[in-house]
Each structure stands twice: as structure tokens, then as C-alpha cells.
Amino acid sequence: MSNPPPPTPDADSASFGAAAKYAGLGFQLVASILLFLYLGRWVDRRIGTEPLFLLLGVFTGLAAAIYSMYRSLMADQRREAERRGEGTR
Amino acid sequence: MTLRSLVATLALLVFAAAPAHAAGAGSACHLPEAGHEGKVDIITPHITNGDHIEIPYWKFPFFLECTLPKWAPLHVGSLELDLSPTKHVVMLWLGAVLLLGGMVLVGRAHARAMARGAAPRGGPNAIEAMILYIRNEVILPNVGHHGEGFVPYLLTAFFFILTLNLLGLVPFGSTATGNISVTATLALLTFLTVEVAGLRANGVGYLNTMFYWNNELPVVMRPLMFLIMSPVEMIGKLTKPFALAIRLFANMTAGHIVVLALMGLIFEFAGPASAAPLLMSVVIMVLELFVAFLQAFIFTLLSSVFIGQIREAHH
């Protein structure tokens, strides 16, 4: 079999991939909030402080999920910048 | 043996062997029970799994109902595993056989054409164009450096999903990718590929994709952030393949429900007005043909993006 030509950077397919990878991010937000919500409810029932830790859990989960999203966005942006730097060299 | 006779043999095996086998099996296949009065649910039996398959038959109503064999369940500890074939399992086997036979033929045609010093013609050329597009434009740019090792898995996933999607659109067919167990298994394979790729590319740094430990934070905050962020990072790992499984399953099932509902409307309107749902079901069917390719493409694209993401996680 002969060697196919090396891949050429294609702006369209790269941006499509970049957009498509965030399609599943909503699930992560919901799952994080639910995890900390149930954790808070469990703590509340153990020590009888309803609904303090449940509410704290909702906001902790939301903040953590948003921070995680922010981190993955920043990492992707750095990767993209590196790739562009390699391309112009 | 020439290519033409190989194709003819394959086609004969697929289309002629099924009724021949049915005649031999005797009691397993029978004509469908005729004459349902009143309303009949045509949607649910078509989109769910079952222990019957329909095969083409030369007399009205042009299909036979075959009951699939029931195997004794396996016992693993306290777990009872029923591994009997179902409608979707038969479709998985058929898809695998078609893909294997078809791709071997394409490979041979390609090798023969290359030996002649010319490009292959017709079908093999079309398949080659698809393979090269997926490889060069989707997999390699997204997976990153030295991504050639991931090409076989991702191309297999693409063509397997595509074959299963298309088998759901042919008469007597059924959509195995419209079964959540099938899509979950495919997503699980991608999940394992992603994690193993991350482990191999990052070594000990792989732990950074599971646990969160930031040395720039004040000492008191580090364990706190570790406890809060680590579960979120792990959830992020699991939700990606979960979204893959749900997306493929929902897209394949939804389209079929729309087509079947429009077909139901044709009989419900019963007059000149039934031309409207007839036209719409044809249009949606063409759209389904596009969706079959699109969803296979999306699955492959996202799998390569996830592999690329974890391989460059240490940057």
C-alpha cells in the first residue's frame, strides 16, 4: 500500500471539532450539581441540619463544574495557540 | 476468482441464504398472523428489540416471521446471563459480516489496481475516498502527533456504526444503533481507548486528569479543592462517553419514530390528504439517510477529539 499524503491542517474541520467537543459539557454540569446535592442531603440527614448542606452542595457543585469547564476551555485555548504557533513556524 | 464472482457470491449469501435457511428450519418461520382489527401499534415493535426477525418471502405479504432460538441462560455467580440472540444481535452479526466481506473485497480491488498502477474504480474508489477523508481530516488532526495507531479503531467504529445505521433503513432491517445497550457498548470501547491512550501518553501525569492538586493555592485550600474538584473531574470523564451513547441512540430512534408516525398518518387520513404525510415521510427518510452518515461521523470525530484531549493533558 502506498503512503497517503500527510494531513493538511483544515480550519473548517478543526473548528467543527472544537465546537463539537463541548456538546457533552451540559451533562457534566448536571451530574456535578446532583452529586454534591445528594452528598449534602446525606450529611444533613446524618447530623440533622436540613437544609443547610443540601443548599451548600448545590452551589458547590455548580461552582466546581463551572471552574472545571473554565479549566478545560483554557487548556484547549492553550493547545490551539500552540498548534497555531507550530503552523506558522 | 474474479471480483465480480466474489461480489455475486456475497450477495447470494446475504439475500438468498436467509429464505433458504428459513425453509430448512421449518417451524421457526411462519407467515405473519393476518387481519388485525382496529388500531395496531406499528411504532413500538419497530424501534424496540425482540426475539423475532422478519425475512423476505416471495408470496404476500412478502415476509416471514422467524422466532430466534432461545438459549439456556449462563450462571456467573448469582448473575443470570441470557445470551440468546435477539433482533438487534442478528443485525450486529449481519453488519459485521457485510463489513468484513465488503472491506476484504475493497482491499483486494485496491491492491489489484495498485499493482496495475491505476486508481481503483467505482465502489472501492468511493470507500477509499471516505477512508482517506476520515483519516486525514478527522482523526489525525484531532488525535495529535503519532495518531496513526488510533486510525484502525476509529475507522472500524465509523464503518460499523454507518453499516448498522444503514441496515436500519433497508426493508426488513432493524436499527441496532437504536438500542441503548449497543451504543453504550460502543461508547464504553471509546472510553477505554481514551483512558488507555491517556495512561500511555502521560504516565504518572495521568493522575492529573483524575485528581486535582494545585500547588499554586494556599496550603489550607489544597486538600479542600482536591476533595471538591476531583469528583467533578471524574464525572467529566464519565459524561463524555455517556453523551456519545445517548446522542447516537436518541438520533437513530427519534428519526425512525418520525418516519413511522408519518406512515401511520397516511392510513389515518385515507384519501387525497394522505399525499401530504406520504411526501413528508419520503423527505424525512432522505434526511435519515443523511443522519446515518452524520451520526457515524460525529461519533468518530468526538472519539478522536477526546483521545487528542487526554493525550495533550500534560501540556
SS3 label, residue B174: coil
Say if A49 is an interface residue toward chain B (CB within 8 Å).
no
Among B209, B235, B237, B314, most A C-beta atoms within 10 A, so best to mutate, is B235
Q: What stretches in chain B show pLDDT beneath 50? A: 1, 16-17, 19-26
Give the pLDDT confidence score for residue A15 in this predicted structure: 59
Spatial contact of B272 and B207, defined as CB atoms under 8 Å apart = no
Q: What is the pLDDT of residues B86-140, one digit of tens each?
A: 999 999 999 999 999 999 999 999 999 888 888 888 888 999 999 999 999 999 9
Say if B240 is an interface residue toward chain A (CB within 8 Å).
yes
- The domain segmentation of chain B, as residue ranges, is 1-30+45-71+80-125, 137-315
Give the pLDDT confidence score for residue A37 in this predicted structure: 94
Say if A76 is an interface residue toward chain B (CB within 8 Å).
yes
Give the pLDDT confidence score for residue B150 in this predicted structure: 94
Say if B155 is an interface residue toward chain A (CB within 8 Å).
no
- The domain segmentation of chain A, as residue ranges, is 24-88
Angle, vertex CA A33, rays to CA A30 and CA A36, nearest 5: 145
Residue A71 to residue A73: CA distance in whole angstroms:
5
Across B143-182, b (16+ Cβ under 10 Å) vs e yields bbeebeebbebbbebbbbbbbbbbbbbeeebbbbbbbeeb
Residue B253 to residue B303: CA distance in whole angstroms:
21
A68 and B238 within 8 Å at the Cβ level: the answer is no
B232 and A28 within 8 Å at the Cβ level: the answer is yes
Say if B232 is an interface residue toward chain A (CB within 8 Å).
yes
Give the pLDDT confidence score for residue B281 in this predicted structure: 92
Compute the nearest-CA separation of A32 from chain B (Å): 6
Angle, vertex CA A19, rays to CA B206 and CA B233, nearest 5: 30
Global pTM reads 0.83
Instruction: Report residue A4's pLDDT band, with 50, 70 and 90 as the boundaries.
Output: low
Residue B198 to residue B312: CA distance in whole angstroms:
8
Q: What is the pLDDT of residues A16-39, one digit of tens each?
A: 666 666 767 888 899 999 999 999
Give the pLDDT confidence score for residue B59 in this predicted structure: 79
Residue B306 to residue A18: CA distance in whole angstroms:
11
Residue B178 to residue B53: CA distance in whole angstroms:
16
B235 and A82 within 8 Å at the Cβ level: the answer is no
**Of the candidates B96, B90, B128, B87, which has an alpha carbon nearest to the alpha carbon of residue B109?**
B128
Say if B114 is an interface residue toward chain A (CB within 8 Å).
yes
